[in-house]
Amino acid sequence: MTDYLVSYGELALKGKNRRFFEKKLLQMIKERVQRDHLKITASFLYGKILVHSDESPDTTRSLLSQIFGIAAFRPVYTFPYDYELLKERLPALLAASMETRNPHTFRITAKRAFKLFPIDSMAVARDLGSLVLSRFPGLKVDLTRPDMEITVDIRSEGFFVSLDKIKGAGGFPEGSQGRALLLLSGGIDSPVAGYLAMKRGLATDFVTFQAPPFTGEGALNKVRELAGVIRSKGSRRKGQLYIVNVATLQKEIIASCKPEYATLLLRVVMLKTAAALAHVKGYDALITGDSLGQVASQTIRSLAAVDAVAGGFTLRPLIGYDKNDIMAIAESLGTMEISNRPFQDCCSLFVPEHPATKPEEALLLSESEKLPLQSFLDGLRDHLSSESV
Amino acid sequence: MIYLDNAAAAPPLKEALESFQETLFSCYANPSSAHAAGFRISALMEEMRSRVADTLGLTPSEIIFTSGATEANNTVLQSFTSRFKRGEALALSPIEHASIENTARSLEQTGTRIHYLPLTPEGETDIPRLQKVLPPSCALLSIIAVNNETGIVQPLKALIAEVRRIRPETLIHVDAVQSFWSSLWEELPLLDWDFLTLSAHKLHALKGTGILAARKGRLLHPLLNGGGQERGLRAGTENIPGIIAFGMVLQFLNKKRKTYCRHMTQLEEYVLSAADKLAEYHINRRTGAVYSPHIISLRHEFIPGAVLQNALSEQGIYVSTGSACSDKNKKSLRVLKALGYDEDQARNTIRASFSPLSSMEEIRALIRALEDLGESLGGLYRKARQQ
């Protein structure tokens, strides 16, 4: 069994809300452990979370490094609250790990969370440092760039000694910032946007727009798979995928509206529908994969006009990302291969030859008024299905 | 369900496979095992090999069982190019199945020179131009007897005769996977090819079984090495259930072939005349060329093939766009474009492929559905196009 001390960086700065964030993080660790059927437990340890794991170090590290809100974690050796015992046993612990690490320099970092411990942290560091020097004469102290940093956490529960610090995923625990609805197409960008939103603490569910027979089962299966992959990157046990059939509106756009506005109108339809859904289901924001300037519908004028006409509150985590950066994240998430499968999604149907890049907001509004959008939203239930992912 | 994607996979034939279950559960020994159970299976497998050989006019030792036509095609191409001398070349038609085209492409990256055969405007190999196009160093020529996307039949007899006349050293491989229902099938045993491939699941047997026929003396290099099965040409324990099923189905089909061909020709003729009357639909066939009756490639002037496929699928009618094997592939328009269709025509194409189990009623339902879709969606796409 190995213990880990989990620290949560910027989360701890949140003043009065700190307790809320901590609880959320603990809950997320527990949900993920349960979802993945692991033998791991977690509990609070003032200012940190203590994780006991009966799983292999690889499994535990991989788990902890994926949970949003964890800034870093350390595998720790736990000693009882007995300083003399710690001094007696520490050299043996170090001797064991010396062989594999072969350090030339070290430092001791002591942290005294338990203030009733009579020796201050500087003195502990000096004391343990001279102990190490006397037992391992080959080692030298280097406070700035040591080969090995020995961290000693002093707590009422005992001494926690660690030699490694592993970077966590960062961000905030899922759900600690609210709930969001990701507009998920089959493309490369939206899954990445969803991942970033989740990482920033939003419990994220999914909505996708289909227009059968213009889009087929293949396109929908692709979205299902993408939603599954994104959801699996978070810790929640399950997520929700809403599927909206917009075929009637898609047809209406082609039949009645200005062709250069077709794509923007479809986006108005999607955002308005998603906003209505968010309102009913209690989501705080919509998330899209828009990246500024990427295509005609993502120019600043297009985004502004669509937002003005559609309303709702939309976050665009990728707005400043280059395509290459987005693709690199998609690759690392494992969504790239799925997104590349060539099933048409409903955004890529009927793409006009000369789409508007500087649309007039008033014109977009009047074009959108030609669509039976309100009656569509009133009867949304008939066009909507949902499933767990 | 109206299943019209038989060129992708044809349903196993119940009548032919009646005793199959029994065989499946009793014939589980390894045919390489040196005990009575192993010998029994081995004998059964050899009987099936003889059936295949008889059908193709070969001796049993000229038949190699593989995991499918893709493996058989790869074996032929890769074993020859691996022995190519500097400057030797591989020739293939521009309308080959992906398992030939993509293998050739990958060989090209390692230095093999690829030459594409010229086609006539009708889509047949342009035989008079072969002399100009085929380099003297052409070691292997691969040709698809019946194209899987359009059903066009190649003039194999004349093609082989010409290659033998002008390039006697060139070996000839025939991809005969879709040829069973064509007029070419009965000719195949009489033609002077060197290698030929077949696939079991296109012929109403099971997936995971293919045939590579290699005439005596034509040396191959195995793709897989191991226990020396298939005379050392294809290692790995033989897929006995697949092989037995193929033998059973082949025997059955050989008896019924003429009756079935007549039936499918009727279906074909009906589609050709009915589709001709449908507004804005066109059959992808050229006057003067020969086609297999089981494949009909057709297109709408405006509606993408993928949309027709989705819409038909919603009604329980299953067809494919181009070929099922390349549906998910962005290059899937390659074959139709090589046959002279433009990008839009190729994109708007669907393929309906029949089997002896297809009924006239099903074909009528297809035509009705196409007519309805033409009316309900055609206008929309026409408008989108005009914009």
Q: What is the mean pLDDT of residues A104-127?
A: 95
Q: Is the predicted pLDDT of residue A325 greater than 90, yes or no?
A: yes
Residue A92 lies in a domain: yes
Residue A172 lies in a domain: no
> Can you tell me the ipTM of this complex?
0.75
Q: What's the pLDDT at B110? A: 83
Of the listed ranges A92-101, B13-22, B82-91, B289-298, the one predicted with least confidence: B82-91
Question: DSSP 3-state assignment of B382?
Answer: helix
Amino acid symbol at A134: S
In this complex, the residue of A212, A251, A341 whose CB is nearest that of residue B328 is A341
Q: Do A255 and B377 touch (CB under 8 A)?
A: no
Tell me, yes or no, whether A186 and A256 share the same domain.
yes
Provide the mean pLDDT of chain A.
93
Q: Is B331 on the interface with A (CB under 8 A)?
A: no
Tell me, yes or no, whether A254 and A319 share the same domain.
yes
What DSSP designation does B280 have? T
CA distances from B34 to B28, B37, B39, B255 (A): 14, 8, 7, 35
In this complex, the residue of B310, B373, B387 whose CB is nearest that of residue A216 is B310
Tell me, yes or no, whether A189 and A335 share the same domain.
yes
Assign B326 a pLDDT band (cuts: 50, 70, 90): very low
CB pairs under 8 A between A and B: 38
Look at residues A112, A135, A167 and tell me which one is the last residue of a structural domain.
A167
The structural domain count of chain B equals 2
Q: Name the H helices within chain B.
A: 20-26, 36-56, 69-81, 98-109, 130-133, 156-166, 240-277, 305-314, 334-338, 343-347, 360-386
Neighbours of A275 (CB within 10 A): 20
Look at residues B217, B252, B287 and tell me which one is the last residue of a structural domain.
B252
Single pTM value for the model = 0.84
Assign B327 a pLDDT band (cuts: 50, 70, 90): very low
Tell me, yes or no, whether A134 and A53 share the same domain.
yes
CA dihedral (B254, B258, B264, B265) positive or negative = positive
Tell me, yes or no, whether B206 and B318 share the same domain.
no
Q: Is the predicted pLDDT of residue B305 greater than 90, yes or no?
A: yes
pLDDT tens track for A349-377: 677 778 889 999 999 999 999 999 999 99
Q: What's the pLDDT at B18? A: 84
Amino acid symbol at B47: E
A255, closest residue in chain B (CA to CA): B380
Tell me, yes or no, whether A145 and A240 share the same domain.
no
Q: What's the pLDDT at B5? A: 98
At B322, which helix (H) or strand (E)? none
In this complex, the residue of A213, A218, A342 whose CB is nearest that of residue B307 is A213
Q: Verify whether residue B27 is a known catalytic residue.
A: no
Segments forming the whole domain that contains residue A381: 178-388
Tell me, yes or no, whether B261 and B327 share the same domain.
yes
The structural domain count of chain A equals 2
The residues of A whose Cβ lies within 8 A of any Cβ of B are 212-218, 251, 254-255, 259, 341-344, 350, 352-353
Tell me, yes or no, whether B33 and B75 share the same domain.
yes
CA–CA dist B318, B143 (Å, integer): 28
pLDDT tens track for A327-353: 999 999 999 999 998 776 666 667 777
Q: Do B383 and A342 touch (CB under 8 A)?
A: no
CA–CA dist B340, A175 (Å, integer): 57
